[in-house]
Amino acid sequence: MKSMTWVVLALCVVAVVAAVVSFTAGDWPLGIVWILIAGLGSNLALFQVRRSRRASA
Tens digit of each residue's pLDDT (9 = 90 or more) over 33-53: 999 999 999 998 889 888 888
Nearest to 29, CA basis, from 39, 19, 40, 43: 19
Section 20-30 average pLDDT: 96
The answer on pLDDT for 1 being more than 70 is no
3-state SS assignment for residue 57: coil
pLDDT band for position 6 (50/70/90)? confident
Q: What is the predicted pLDDT for the residue at 3?
A: 79
Give the C-alpha distances (Å, rounded to integers) separating 24 from 18, 20, 37, 50. 10, 6, 18, 35
* Gap between the Cα atoms of 39 and 15, Å rounded: 9
pLDDT band for position 29 (50/70/90)? very high
